[in-house]
């Protein structure tokens, strides 16, 4: 049987994963990438401090959302060394110096929350129900099944599906918990990529969604040398099976009649199917389809996440923790709010551009300690502060005082902040300019009402969730499609299943 021709636009994790599966299933794949290197937002940068070079993750930092079957099927599992901290996560509330251990064992967690924040709710029941929902989501990934509330209700029961998929995050958190601090920790991912309101329909679903990866069984961790190894290795694996990757390639036009993509440099590519693994807005430059254009313009894109990468000349030491205990690589969370109402107000203020920065929470990734665990000794220790809530309109270099404010919030918990000898700050505006993310959203498009779960599609063709509009030979599988962004490739894989099932 002769091979069909697939042209994939975009060499981020989704384009690379999709290409890998297509090439192994009787397609001849050519990738077109406009940047000079592959990886999209999963890439690296370099910095020289004191005459020593160090690489660091420019965009994505930690691995977690990737399904284990993608990690294995693509061949990544043979190439990468990865590690997820065994030690519990640690949560700080800066207003009253509370420090909470998020134990993996639900019994220990229940006791910890009871003792530290007076939680009197249903902690174990929350974890059990969450695991049921996550299992349902993961089964859908593997089957490449388009999300459907009807199917979810059949599997989970009407009540659970309503509470966890269609319902609001506030309602879900109020149902299981009594303590505002527990609610904040368990619900924080609702605004992980964008300032979604905890009162919007479907916002509850973001909570299990963010833990639905399986490479670490729902947890998150580090990749030896850095997360960009995922896309670099995928690039090499893809080339080894015959995929042609064209970097620095700018599309001039797409001839849909003749099924041809023309580049500025004169090259052209014929296709049977064309897949955009980009943000959802970029394809509109090349595709003349007024109704699709209108529906894309109407979508909501704003992102409010920022990132500081801080370099330390000595190992970071945490207050209350010994210099060599197992907690050094654990994820840490610093909350500047202590109740859901303030959480909501602050995230909405940045959405509406009222403030450049409204401290919400900071996720601290102890990347340097993670690298040491993986046997990679680097010239500097590294911490990453993934920060909420930053407004869209300014670049990091325009906000030096906020850069400092973010660092100081973390430095309160470190005994050697004076060892910090450099840092880099990225805002949503920077992400827009450096990664072409519409309005700087790390999921390309907000995970909000009308564009989450079964609505996270651009298809107008029944039974073909990843089609782009009503075009039978054009698909879309970037982070703006189901399930969401992340270094996962799930959308790429599900799009592949959609293509071969049709
Ligand atoms: C600061 C930051 C921190 C993050 N942290 C994490 C994290 O810790 N863990 C995690 O899992 N995720 C994280 N993310 C999210 C994650 O990086 C993204 O969701 C994911 O990489 C998106 O992958 P993608 O393949 O869908 O798109 P992208 O990575 O955006 O790739 C799309 C590709 O398409 C190319 N392209 C666009 N337009 C065209 C065109 N016209 N022609 C040709 N090529 C084109 C782009 O150059 C790009 O290479 C973070 C993102 C950022 C920015």
- CA-to-CA separations, 220 to 86, 106, 302, in angstroms, rounded: 10, 18, 25
Q: Is the CB of 16 under 6 A from ligand 1?
A: no
Atom of ligand 1 nearest to the CA of 286: 41
**Contact 308 CB / ligand 1 (< 6 Å):** no
For residues 479 and 279, the answer to whether their CB atoms sit within 8 Å is yes
Domain spanning 4-41+64-81+224-299+440-501, CATH class? alpha beta
**List of residues 6+ apart from 238 with CB closer than 8 A:** 16, 19, 20, 23, 29, 31, 245
Map residue 128 onto helix, strand or coil: helix
Chain mean position to CA 84: 17
Q: What is the pLDDT of residue 325?
A: 78
Rounded to whole angstroms, what are the CA distances from 217 to 69, 83, 148, 371, 444?
A: 12, 12, 24, 20, 25
Domain extents in the chain? 4-41+64-81+224-299+440-501
> Separation of 264 CA from ligand 1 center, angstroms?
23
Distance from C-alpha of 502 to C-alpha of 500, rounded to nearest angstrom: 5
8 A C-beta contact, residue 77 and residue 63: no
pLDDT score at 29: 98
Ligand 1 atom closest to Cα of 488?
11
Cβ–Cβ under 8 Å, residues 276 and 474:
yes
- The pLDDT of residue 447 is 96
Atom 4, ligand 1: residue with shortest CA distance: 60
Gap between the Cα atoms of 305 and 284, Å rounded: 26
> In this predicted structure, what is the pLDDT of residue 326?
83
Yes or no: say if 271 and 5 are a contact pair by the CB < 8 Å rule.
yes
Candidates 60, 94, 488; CA nearest to 307 is: 60
> Encoding tokens for residue 187?
């619900």
Give me the phi and psi of 141, to 5 degrees please: -60, -50
HSE, side-chain direction, 13 A CA sphere, residue 88? 14
314 CA distance to ligand 1 centroid (A)?
32
Q: Whose CA is nearest to atom 18 of ligand 1?
A: 486
How many Cβ atoms from other residues are within 10 Å of residue 364's Cβ? 26
For residue 296 and ligand 1, the question of a CB distance below 6 A is answered with: no
Walk along the chain (502 residues) and give the pLDDT tens digit of each residue. Answer: 689 999 999 999 999 999 999 999 999 999 999 999 999 999 999 999 999 999 999 999 999 999 999 999 999 999 999 999 999 999 999 999 889 999 999 999 999 999 999 999 999 999 999 999 999 999 999 999 999 999 999 999 999 999 999 999 999 999 999 999 999 999 999 998 889 999 999 999 999 999 999 999 999 999 999 999 999 999 999 999 999 999 999 999 999 999 999 999 999 999 999 999 999 999 999 998 999 999 999 999 999 999 999 999 999 999 988 877 789 999 999 999 999 999 999 999 988 888 999 999 999 999 999 999 999 999 999 999 999 999 999 999 999 999 999 999 999 999 999 999 999 999 999 999 999 999 999 999 999 999 999 999 999 999 999 999 999 999 999 999 999 999 999 999 999 999 999 8
């Amino acid at each position: 049987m002769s091979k069909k021709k697939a042209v994939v636009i975009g060499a981020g994790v989704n384009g690379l994963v999709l290409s890998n599966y297509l090439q192994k299933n009787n397609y001849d794949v050519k990738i077109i990438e406009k940047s000079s290197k592959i990886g999209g937002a999963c890439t690296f940068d370099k910095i020289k401090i004191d005459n020593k070079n160090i690489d660091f993750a420019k965009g994505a930092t930690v691995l977690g959302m990737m399904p284990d079957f993608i990690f294995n099927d693509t061949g990544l599992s043979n190439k990468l060394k990865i590690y997820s901290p065994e030690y519990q996560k640690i949560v700080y509330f800066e207003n009253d110096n509370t420090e909470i251990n998020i134990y993996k064992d639900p019994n220990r967690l229940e006791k910890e929350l009871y003792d530290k924040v007076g939680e009197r709710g249903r902690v174990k029941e929350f974890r059990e129900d969450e695991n049921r929902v996550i299992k349902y989501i993961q089964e859908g990934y593997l089957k490449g099944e388009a999300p459907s509330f009807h199917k979810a209700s059949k599997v989970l029961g009407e009540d659970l599906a309503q509470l966890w998929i269609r319902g609001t995050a506030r309602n879900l958190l109020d149902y299981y918990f009594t303590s505002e601090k527990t609610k904040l920790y368990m619900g924080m991912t609702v605004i992980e990529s964008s300032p979604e309101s905890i009162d919007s329909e479907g916002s509850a679903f973001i909570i299990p969604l963010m833990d639905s990866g399986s490479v670490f069984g729902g947890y998150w961790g580090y990749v030896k040398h850095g997360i960009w190894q995922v896309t670099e290795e995928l690039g090499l694996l893809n080339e080894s099976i015959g995929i042609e990757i064209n970097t620095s390639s700018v599309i001039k036009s797409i001839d849909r009649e003749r099924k041809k993509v023309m580049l500025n440099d004169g090259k052209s590519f014929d296709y049977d199917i064309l897949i955009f693994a980009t943000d959802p807005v970029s394809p509109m430059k090349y595709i003349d389809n007024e109704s699709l254009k209108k529906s894309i313009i109407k979508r909501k894109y704003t992102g409010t996440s920022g990132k500081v990468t801080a370099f330390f000349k000595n190992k970071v030491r945490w207050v209350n923790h010994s210099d060599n205990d197992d907690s050094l690589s654990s994820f840490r969370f610093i909350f500047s709010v202590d109740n859901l109402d303030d959480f909501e107000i602050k995230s909405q203020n940045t959405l509406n551009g009222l403030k450049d920065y409204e401290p919400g929470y900071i996720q601290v990734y102890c990347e340097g300690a993670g690298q040491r665990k993986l046997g990679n000794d680097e010239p500097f220790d590294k911490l990453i502060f993934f920060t909420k809530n930053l407004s869209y309109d300014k670049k990091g270099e325009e906000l030096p005082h906020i850069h400092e404010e973010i660092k100081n919030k973390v430095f309160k918990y470190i005994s050697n902040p004076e060892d910090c000898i450099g840092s880099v700050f990225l805002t949503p505006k920077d992400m827009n300019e450096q990664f072409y993310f519409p309005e700087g959203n790390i999921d390309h498009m907000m995970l909000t009402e009308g564009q989450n779960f079964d609505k996270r599609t651009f298809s107008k063709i029944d039974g073909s969730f990843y089609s782009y509009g009503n075009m039978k030979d054009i698909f879309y599988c970037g982070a703006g499609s189901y399930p969401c962004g992340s270094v996962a490739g799930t959308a790429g894989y599900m799009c592949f299943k959609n293509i071969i099932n049709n």
